[in-house]
Structure formats: structure tokens, C-alpha cells
């Protein structure tokens, strides 16, 4: 019987071998499989590019061990400044015997799934899994952008969305919807007839589904810029440009795109290229808000 293998993320191929046909487990890859829903003990080998957040990383490692057959091989790697120096200790805390190799700015840890259930597995899975935030009353999960607070940019945009005599209306989309905070505000307008929530993070989309109980809302785990835009490096700028172009393509003539961005990012030129009129809003702090009319 052929070995069943999986991969989490996109490990550098010069540092880790990922067999062809491996099942993709990352929630940031549309079309991949959810670790939460897969049966345990199914895989012979898993390669993980470990995420930088400690809670999220332990959660991914715990799921990888859960999904491996006893004796199955786990290869986990991370850059030294993004959790790599803690990988070995985190795997040993599950009861694994670990070999640790530094290479290419990464730490590469290899171990086998113990015959017995890994130590502390349930506690780590609970800590890193979907959960309701008491202060917000919303579902979220470690690893989702700004997972346990409302980011200031979203708060700034909510403060500038149309209300009163000229609320948002018709069909709309929330690109990079996160857990649905902005969409909840949009849907308070009775004139909104349909709202598509899109995010590249499956965990965010799943949380948004829980946070929004409205027949006008639709949800999609997708990459807005398709082909993929999560290419590292200058991600903030390229992602924002992709959202602006996609919004322009999706809107009818005379309709609006509302955008919030970090103040230092130069989106004015591409907004002017894609829209007929761009109206900056007065925004304090490190963010700027625009209404762009097609």
C-alpha cells in the first residue's frame, strides 16, 4: 500500500522533501484539507512549515502528531526568529524523541509519533482551536489575523461607513473578511441585499459563519487575487493592490469601494487608476480610509 503523506504550508524544498501528491493541510491554501476534520492515525509522514505564533504552532504540531500513525515521521521546520528555536522543546513536551538540525536559517526537527498518545495533546488542541472571545462575543481562533481583538484599521473603517440617510445598499463583498466584524456592521443596513465574505484563511471564514446568522451573507474560502497572493516579502502592498483591482472589476459603474490601509502604504495611485473618483476620509492615527467610486 502506498504511503499517505501530508504537508502544512510550503516548506522550502531545499530543506525538506515533500512527496508528490501530499495532502495540503494549511488553512491558508484554498482547496486544502482541514486538520480538524481528518481522522487520526491516517498518515505515514507529515512535513510542517511551522507558523510563528506559539499557540498556533503548538496546535499545528499537536494535530500533526494526532494525524500520524504510531511510528509515523514528522518533520517540522521554522526560521530561527519565528519559532524555530522553540520547536524541539515543544515536540519533546509531547513525549517525542527529537533530532534538531540547523540549516538555511531554519531549525529542522524530526521525530516519530510515539506509540502512546502524545502527552498534553487535548489541552494544546483546546487552547489553539476555535473559541468564542468573551470580551467580543465573537468566534475566532489563534492564527487568524488579529485573532483576539478588533484591529484598529477595521475599527477606523467601521467608523466611516455610510449610515443614516445614505446607508450601504445592494449587493456587496467583504474582501479579507476575517471573522466577520466589518460584515456584521454592513449587514445592519436593511438595504444590503447580498454580501459575499471572502478570506484566504479557512479558519477566519469558519469563524465568520458562526458570527453571522443572516441569509444575505455568503461565505467563500478563496484567494481574491488568484493566482495566490501570499508570497511573503512585500505582502501588505501587493495584497492591497490586488484587493483594489478586484474591487474595481467587481463593481458596477457609480458604485463604491471602501478601503482602510496603513497610512504609510501608497495606494493613492492605483486607486486613481482603477476608480473615477477617490474621496479620502479624515482619519486619526496610523490608518487612512478612502471611498472610491467607479
pLDDT tens digits for range 60-99:
999 999 999 999 999 999 999 999 999 999 999 999 999 9
Residue 229: pLDDT band with limits 50, 70, 90: very low
d(CA 124, CA 290): 41
Sheet harboring 5-8: ordered strands across? 23-24, 5-8, 43-49, 68-79, 106-112, 99-103
At 66, which helix (H) or strand (E)?
helix 54-67
pLDDT value, residue 283: 81
pTM of the model: 0.89
Instruction: Say which CATH superfamily domain 131-293 falls into.
Output: Vaccinia Virus protein VP39 (3.40.50.150)
CATH of 5-128, one of 3.30.1360.120, 3.40.50.1370, 3.40.50.150, 3.30.2090.10: 3.40.50.150
Residue 285: pLDDT band with limits 50, 70, 90: confident
Query: Out of 27-36, 156-165, 223-232, 264-273, which region has the weakest mean confidence (pLDDT)?
Result: 223-232
The mean predicted confidence, pLDDT, of the chain is 92
Are residues 179 and 167 in contact, defined by beta-carbon separation less than 8 angstroms?
no
Which residues of the chain form CATH 3.40.50.150? 5-128, 131-293
Q: Residue 231 pLDDT > 70, yes or no?
A: no
Are residues 78 and 50 in contact, defined by beta-carbon separation less than 8 angstroms?
yes
| CA-closest candidate to residue 253, choices 293, 194, 193 | 293
Kind of pairing between the strands at 287-293 and 99-103:
unpaired
Question: Which of 225 and 172 is assigned the larger pLDDT?
Answer: 172
pLDDT (tens digit per residue) in 94-113: 999 999 999 999 999 999 99
Amino acid at each position: 500500500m502506498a504511503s499517505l503523506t501530508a504537508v502544512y504550508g510550503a516548506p522550502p524544498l531545499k530543506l525538506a522533501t515533500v512527496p508528490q501528491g501530499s495532502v495540503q493541510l494549511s488553512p491558508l491554501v484554498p482547496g486544502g484539507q482541514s486538520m480538524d476534520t481528518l481522522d487520526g492515525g491516517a498518515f505515514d509522514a507529515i512535513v510542517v512549515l511551522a507558523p510563528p505564533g506559539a499557540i498556533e504552532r503548538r496546535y499545528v504540531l499537536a494535530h500533526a502528531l494526532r494525524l500520524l500513525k504510531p511510528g509515523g515521521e514528522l518533520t517540522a521546520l521554522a526560521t530561527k526568529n519565528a519559532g524555530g528555536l522553540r520547536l524541539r522543546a515543544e515536540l519533546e513536551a509531547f513525549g517525542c524523541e527529537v533530532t534538531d538540525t540547523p540549516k538555511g536559517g531554519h531549525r529542522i526537527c524530526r521525530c516519530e509519533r510515539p506509540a502512546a498518545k502524545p502527552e498534553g495533546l487535548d489541552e494544546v488542541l483546546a487552547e489553539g482551536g476555535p473559541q468564542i472571545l468573551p470580551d467580543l462575543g465573537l468566534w475566532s481562533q489563534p492564527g487568524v489575523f488579529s485573532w483576539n481583538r478588533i484591529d484598529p484599521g477595521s475599527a477606523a473603517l467601521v467608523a466611516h461607513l455610510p449610515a443614516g440617510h445614505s446607508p450601504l445598499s445592494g449587493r456587496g463583498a467583504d474582501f479579507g473578511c476575517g471573522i466577520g466584524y466589518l460584515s456584521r456592521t454592513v449587514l445592519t443596513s436593511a438595504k444590503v441585499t447580498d454580501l459575499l465574505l471572502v478570506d484566504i484563511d479557512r479558519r477566519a471564514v469558519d469563524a465568520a459563519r458562526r458570527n453571522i446568522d443572516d441569509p444575505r451573507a455568503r461565505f467563500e474560502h478563496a484567494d481574491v487575487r488568484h493566482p495566490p497572493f501570499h508570497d511573503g516579502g512585500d505582502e501588505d502592498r501587493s495584497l492591497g493592490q490586488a484587493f483594489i483591482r478586484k474591487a474595481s472589476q467587481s463593481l458596477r459603474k457609480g458604485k463604491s469601494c471602501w478601503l482602510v490601509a496603513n497610512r504609510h502604504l501608497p495606494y493613492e495611485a492605483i486607486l486613481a487608476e482603477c476608480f473615477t473618483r477617490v474621496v479620502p476620509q479624515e482619519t486619526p492615527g496610523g490608518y487612512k480610509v478612502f471611498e472610491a467610486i467607479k
